């Protein structure tokens, strides 16, 4: 044991000498933010279609699976070319380590030495100064829950140490970290202000919806515990899920993260967990707490916040957004043992009107607004459609359609659809899809979806919304993205749904329509954009 400790001491002394010799430079000077986003594929038709299928647990056609696998192989080659064969997560770890080393000073070097020796000898951290009860680090120490340079992450055994009881230990450590934050004046004031707003009522709030990657998604700023994050507002799900400081460092790269330890209004919901899982096995899971959530001035004091401690698959591919804010109904929330209400459900009683609106624009900023309907953003009278909430969605019937100036045609008998701002494409009953593309010469079913000539002049599509309104979708928005380097063949923005005719009317519809969501009487309002 002492031989091992001596070897460790010599190794640490070498590291400390190296750290001392490195000149002090500005943190992040080695970090290129685009590195972590190298896997994001931008405006990619097959991937957008697969995302919608997976979200609603629809089986992926074999041809679509093959296309995604081919894209992944090409992407992996690009990554390896850039990194020289080193995995991206290892590159991120090296960047973090470099940042920590160049900022080291004598105090932190001593702390590093003590912590490493303490861990190697099995005695825990060497330097125990500071106040562990409050989570406040001593001078030169990393923040609570963050390992010092050379230390294993929480729940991982130190070098040479056997693995203990990681699940139980991790949960205990996490609880201590999240529960040990004392109240602060500013945070207490923020919480009190949010409570006062909900009691007074008459709240309104507006935030911009910024299109990313040519309208692949729309992102909006939200404050959680006073910390700004950028979220994708999703009327097709009911979880408020964020990237946060409890994730591994490699999963935080390139994002603005929420740190519950920096929020004095955060409260841990002990015993509560969440799990989001898609049909392909990707997903996220973790702990749950509550905090003040504010959107454009409208605030909820104790909104459930889901903190991922494990993320996989497609969630990691897009570093443009920091999480999701679900605006469907709480009946499909994934928190256990007790489902949690959405932001809209919690704030609705205190709004000036029990509504929120989605004003999404093609290649231009739009807005989400809570508590009022801005009459200047649409033309004509708004049509109101009752929705069926039994499945947890803003769901309505959609049994007919029309192409261009043509007459209405029957779609799928008894067909249903949902309004979903979290889906890029427009997925409709196969009868609607076939009827529309039959009017477009050279439209064809490829292995991964329907493709069209990029130079085709597409007619408008009119969709039945609840039997009381025909919503026009502009033809130009149905030409989604090229699928070849020559830019001659494009992926259609309208694709067929694969389960029981349930349509997923995503952002392509919203770019033509101003939509209001009324929680007071469970209805949708629609009218054409100005």
The residues that are catalytic are 234, 420
The C-alpha atoms of residue 298 and residue 344 are separated, in whole angstroms, by 10
The size of the chain, in residues, is 530
Write phi, then psi, for 173 (nearest 5 degrees). Answer: -65, -40
Report the DSSP pairing between strands 461-465 and 449-453: unpaired
What tokens were used for 293? 């959530």
Distance separating alpha carbons of residues 253 and 96, to the nearest angstrom: 9
CA distances from 364 to 53, 352, 379, 457 (A): 27, 28, 19, 22
Report CA dihedral (434, 435, 440, 445) to the nearest 10 degrees. 0
Quick one: which H or E segment has residue 324?
strand 323-326
d(CA 527, CA 378): 6
Half-sphere exposure of 352 (CA within 13 A, CB side): 13
What angle in degrees, to the nearest 10, is found between the helix axes of 88-102 and 62-83?
Answer: 40
- The CA R_g of the chain, rounded to the nearest whole Å, is 26
Q: Is 518 helix (H, G, I), strand (E, B) or coil?
A: strand
Query: CA of 164: how far to CAs of 28, 49, 121, 156, in Å?
Result: 35, 43, 15, 9
Exposed, middle or buried: residue 32 (CB in 10 Å: 0-12, 13-18, 19+)?
Answer: exposed
Task: Please report, for residues 197, 262, 307, 368, the alpha-carbon distance to residue 344 in angstroms, rounded to integers and kept in the order given.
Answer: 15, 25, 19, 12
Helices (H), 201-309: 249-252
Q: Closest Cα partner for 416 from 439, 393, 449, 441? A: 393
Helix (H) or strand (E) holding 236: none
Could you give the CA distance from residue 170 to residue 510 in angstroms, rounded to a whole number? Answer: 43
Edge-first strand order for the sheet with 489-492 is 444-446, 449-453, 489-492, 479-482
230: phi then psi, degrees, rounded to nearest 5:
-110, 120
Q: Which two tokens stand for residue 154?
A: 């929480």
Q: How far is CA 487 from CA 191, 480, 482, 491, in A?
A: 52, 12, 5, 11
Query: 332: which 2 tokens?
Result: 């499909």
Cis peptide before 301 (omega within 30 of 0): no
Other beta carbons within 10 angstroms of residue 223's beta carbon come to 19
């Amino acid at each position: 044991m002492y031989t091992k400790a001596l070897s460790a001491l010599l190794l640490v002394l070498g590291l400390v000498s190296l750290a001392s010799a490195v000149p002090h430079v500005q943190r992040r000077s080695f970090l290129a933010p685009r590195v972590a986003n190298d896997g994001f594929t931008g405006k990619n038709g097959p991937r957008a279609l697969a995302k919608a299928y997976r979200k609603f647990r629809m089986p992926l056609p074999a041809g679509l699976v093959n296309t995604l696998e081919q894209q992944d192989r090409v992407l992996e080659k690009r990554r390896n070319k850039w990194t020289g064969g080193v995995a991206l997560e290892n590159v991120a770890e090296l960047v973090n380590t470099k940042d920590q080393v160049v900022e080291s000073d004598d105090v932190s070097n001593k702390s590093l030495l003590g912590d490493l020796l303490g861990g190697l000898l099995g005695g825990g951290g060497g330097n125990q100064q500071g106040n562990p009860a409050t989570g406040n680090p001593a001078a030169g120490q990393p923040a609570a829950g963050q390992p010092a340079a050379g230390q294993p992450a929480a729940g991982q055994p130190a070098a040479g140490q056997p693995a203990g009881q990681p699940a139980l230990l991790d949960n205990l450590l996490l609880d201590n970290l999240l529960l040990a934050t004392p109240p602060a004046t500013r945070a207490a004031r923020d919480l009190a202000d949010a409570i006062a707003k909900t009691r007074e009522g008459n709240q309104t709030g507006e935030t911009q919806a910024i299109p990313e990657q040519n309208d692949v998604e729309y992102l909006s700023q939200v404050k959680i515990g006073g910390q700004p994050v950028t979220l994708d507002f999703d009327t097709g799900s009911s979880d408020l899920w964020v990237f946060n400081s409890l994730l591994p460092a490699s999963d935080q790269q390139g994002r603005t993260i929420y740190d519950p330890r920096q929020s004095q209004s955060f409260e841990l919901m002990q015993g509560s967990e969440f799990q989001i899982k898609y049909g392909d096995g990707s997903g996220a899971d973790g702990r749950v707490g509550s905090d003040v959530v504010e959107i454009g001035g409208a605030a909820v004091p104790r909104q459930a916040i889901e903190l991922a401690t494990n993320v996989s698959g497609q969630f990691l591919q897009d570093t443009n957004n920091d999480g999701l804010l679900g605006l469907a109904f709480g009946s499909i929330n994934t928190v256990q043992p007790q489902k949690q209400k959405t932001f809209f459900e919690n704030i609705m009683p205190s709004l000036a009107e029990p509504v929120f609106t989605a004003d999404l624009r093609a290649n231009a900023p739009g807005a989400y607004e809570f508590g009022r309907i801005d009459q200047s953003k649409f033309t004509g009278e708004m049509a109101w459609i009752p929705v069926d909430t039994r499945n947890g969605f803003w769901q309505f019937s959609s049994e007919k359609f029309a192409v261009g100036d043509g007459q209405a045609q029957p779609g799928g008998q008894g067909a249903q659809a949902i309004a979903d701002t979290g889906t890029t494409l427009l997925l409709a009953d196969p009868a609607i899809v076939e009827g529309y593309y039959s009017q477009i010469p050279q439209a064809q079913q490829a292995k991964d979806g329907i493709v069209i000539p990029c130079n085709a002049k597409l007619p408008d599509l009119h969709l039945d919304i609840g039997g009381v309104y025909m919503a026009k979708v502009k033809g130009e928005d149905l030409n989604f993205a090229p699928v070849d380097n020559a830019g001659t063949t494009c992926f259609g923005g309208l694709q067929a749904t694969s389960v029981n005719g349930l349509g997923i009317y995503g952002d392509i519809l919203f770019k033509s329509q101003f939509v209001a969501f009324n929680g007071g009487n469970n209805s949708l309002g629609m009218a054409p954009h100005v």
